[in-house]
Amino acid sequence: MNIGHASKRSGVSTKMIRYYEQTGLIPKAARQDSGYRDYDDADVHRLRFIRRARDLGFTVGQIGALLELWSDRSRASADVKSFALDHIAQLKEKIAEIEAMVRTLETLADHCHGDDRPECPIIEGLADGNGTFSTPGQREPRHFGQPGEHPARRRSDAARRATHQ
């Protein structure tokens, strides 16, 4: 089976399949006479596993561990469970972080008239950090976003100008 077919059947892009092979997450694929990579059902199965794990927010490093747990018939289900619970806790932390942002922004926005006058507590809050900011203590790694995901959305003129300049 060619890589394209394996890609369609697994939902993992060909780019990613090659990348996973290159980084050692999956073993080197067999090759056809032509030099094309050759996949079988077991490979597709593993790729689907990977895609589902990614959909659940696991990093590639974590997926490597999950693959090992998958293939290790002697490991206890408790090992898997604690791994999952760990990840759940991480995700919840992330949610809490973003919720804090939302709360702050909503507070600021609530106090903004949103009319044609220039006074704006939102900008002032950013500029002067007056009480409205319950400071998030530590400045931790940012990327709460799913990488590669840059949703095209409607933006104000100012935003468009700034990003497309």
Partner DNA sequence: ATGGTGCTTCCAACCATGGGAAGGTCAAGC
Partner DNA sequence: GCTTGACCTTCCCATGGTTGGAAGCACCAT
Reduced 3-state DSSP string for 80-149: HHHHHHHHHHHHHHHHHHHHHHHHHHHHHHHCCCCCCCCCCHHHHHHHHCCCCCCCCCCCCCCCCCCCCC
Neighbour-count burial of 77, counting CB atoms closer than 10 A to its CB (0-12 exposed, 13-18 middle, 19+ buried): exposed
164 binding DNA? (CB under 7 A):
no
3-state secondary structure of 45: helix
Within 134-163, the residues that bind a copy of itself by CB under 8 A are: 135-136, 139, 142, 144-151, 153-156, 158-159, 161-163
As measured in angstroms, the least distance from the Cβ of 10 to a copy of itself is: 11
- Which amino acid, 157? D
Give the single-character DSSP code of 28.
Answer: P
Residue 104 burial (CB count, 10 A): 16
Within 100-159, the residues that bind DNA by CB under 7 A are: 141-143, 147-148, 150
Query: Among 5, 15, 32, 101, which residue sits at the site for a copy of itself (rule: CB under 8 A)?
Result: 101
Within 4-33, the residues that bind a copy of itself by CB under 8 A are: 11, 24, 27
Contact characters 42-81, a copy of itself, x per CB under 8 A: xx-xx-xx-xxxxxxx-x-xx-xxxxxxxx-xxxxxxxxx
Within 35-94, the residues that bind DNA by CB under 7 A are: 35-37, 54, 59-61
Total residues contacting DNA by CB under 7 A comes to 28
Query: Among 15, 31, 32, 86, which residue sits at the site for a copy of itself (rule: CB under 8 A)?
Result: 86
Residue with tokens 């702050």: 104
- Which amino acid, 75? R
Q: Which residues bind DNA (CB under 7 A)?
A: 2-5, 7, 13-16, 18-19, 29, 32-37, 54, 59-61, 141-143, 147-148, 150
